[in-house]
Amino acid sequence: MLSNATYPALDPSGPAVFSSAIIKGLLRGQFGFHGVTISDTLGAPGVASPTTAVRASRAGVDVLLYTDEAVSARAYQRVLAAVRSGQLSKASVLASARRIRALTR
């Protein structure tokens, strides 16, 4: 689970949930983690915004955790629009889907 906390020694730019340096560089790269990554709640104060879902997805989060169904639906629509517009890599979203599907095997 990727935290909403900021770890300045690892990436001072903001919360770990938005950090490709932490997710892709440290967790997946250096540590070799190939499993599913899950966000902390993206509706929390300090991280919640209209761009939150796309930012977390772009950083490498596989499962975006929301506690409100309507907010989750809007986040899904934003991620879908970001893929369609090229702002978010279709390949990275498909890679996330493969990791998630692998959990059921």
Mind listing the pLDDT tens digit of every residue in the chain (105 residues)? 999 999 999 999 999 999 999 999 999 999 999 999 999 999 999 999 999 999 999 999 999 999 999 999 999 999 999 999 999 999 999 999 999 999 988
Minimal CA–CA distance to 61: which of 81, 49, 79?
Answer: 79
Minimal CA–CA distance to 15: which of 43, 56, 53?
Answer: 56
Query: Side chain identity at 35, as an amino acid letter?
Result: G
Report pLDDT for 104: 86
Report the Cα 30 to chain-centroid distance in Å. Answer: 18
Answer whether 0.75 is exceeded by the pTM: yes
Look at strands 38-41 and 11-15 and give their pairing.
unpaired
